[in-house]
Amino acid sequence: MKKIIIINGPNLNLLGKREPGIYGAQTFEDFFTELKRKYTGFELSYFQSNIEGELIDKIQEVGFSYDGIILNAAAYTHTSVGIGDAIKAIETPVIEVHISNTFAREEFRHQSYISPNAKGVILGFGLQSYELALQSF
Ligand code: DQA
């Protein structure tokens, strides 16, 4: 069974109550429970942190043994050379996802340190972005 982890960055623990007009009304925990129920053919896990170094630690920890990482680095997407380097350093393919269409938003969200090292990028489909990424494995 393929081992896939979803890694979420800062403020994504507030999904459901954070700017619902942009990010929707569902909590990630509810969405993740549904996803696990629907995709029983994957060994799915989930990690969230608001701390850049903890995200890098997790990427390093899973990056030589898992079959895939679905990464929403949230605001660190646009700032973190360290997370970009971590993705370069590992063997596990990374799919970058975003809930919103970052290209339809402020210019600072158009820059990504993840994209150059990702296998692919899926954005703008709400929480379905994660599901589409999963289907690619
Ligand atoms: C986000 C987009 C980022 O620009 C933002 O900082 C986030 C969420 C998204 O999923 O749409 O926190 O990654």
| Digit-coded pLDDT (tens) for 34-78 | 999 999 999 999 999 999 999 999 999 999 999 999 999 999 999
pTM: 0.97
- Say if CB 74 and CB 11 are below 8 A apart: yes
Q: Which of 83, 99, 106 to mutate to test the pocket of ligand 1 (most atoms within 8 A of CB)?
A: 99
pLDDT digits (tens, 9 = 90+) for 75-128: 999 999 999 999 999 999 999 999 999 999 999 999 999 999 999 999 999 999
Report CA torsion sign: 114, 19, 6, 86. Answer: positive
- Domains for the chain: give ranges and CATH numbers: 2-135 (3.40.50.9100)
Report CA torsion sign: 125, 88, 43, 32. Answer: negative
Q: Which of 19, 55, 72, 97 to mutate to test the pocket of ligand 1 (most atoms within 8 A of CB)?
A: 72
